[in-house]
Amino acid sequence: MKLYLLRHAEAHPIGYRGCRRDFDRPLTPKGRKTTLEVANGLRVLGIELDAIWTSPAVRALQTAEIVAAQLNPRGPLQRVDELAPNAALASLIARLRREPLGQDGSVMLVGHEPALSELVSRLVRGDAQVALEFKKTGLCRLEVGELVLGRCGVLEWLLPPKLLARLGASA
């Protein structure tokens, strides 16, 4: 299975237009623009997805919607509580294991730091010791065999948003 992990784009601070909770923060205009450029870069790379799963937090959902509009995944965009900030990684792995994606499937997970970094570390190394940090709209790809919350995957690449945006701008 190919797992693509994408961190949400830049969001407004709490207090913007009455936004009182971190969960409800929308993307900034810059965040929307960067996400569109990144999504175009993913299209240039020829990335095809069976599914896009997103945290239900507004900033992640908006990021996922922009990417889905550019990549047209085979399945519908899904809000997944297991990708919400502070959700347990074991719950996310259990849900992924229940999905009929198979060994050749590809799914993008749109979420938050530090959970995405910890997920990569757990799947590649088996613990949380890898010092990895996703920039906003940064993306990595893992190749995963039998999915477990332990060493089961290979980090194929980690791309910064500036590189993806440049690819998208050249299209």
The C-alpha atoms of residue 6 and residue 130 are separated, in whole angstroms, by: 17
The pTM for the full model equals: 0.95
Among 1.10.287.70, 3.40.50.1240, 3.40.50.2300, 1.10.510.10, what is the CATH number of 2-169? 3.40.50.1240
pLDDT of residue 133: 82
Q: What is the pLDDT of residue 102?
A: 67
Every domain of the chain and the residues it spans: 2-169
30: left (phi over 0), alpha (psi -120 to 50) or beta: alpha
Beta strands 2-7 and 139-144 are antiparallel
**pLDDT, tens digit, for every residue of 90-133?**
999 999 988 877 678 899 999 999 999 999 999 999 888 887 88
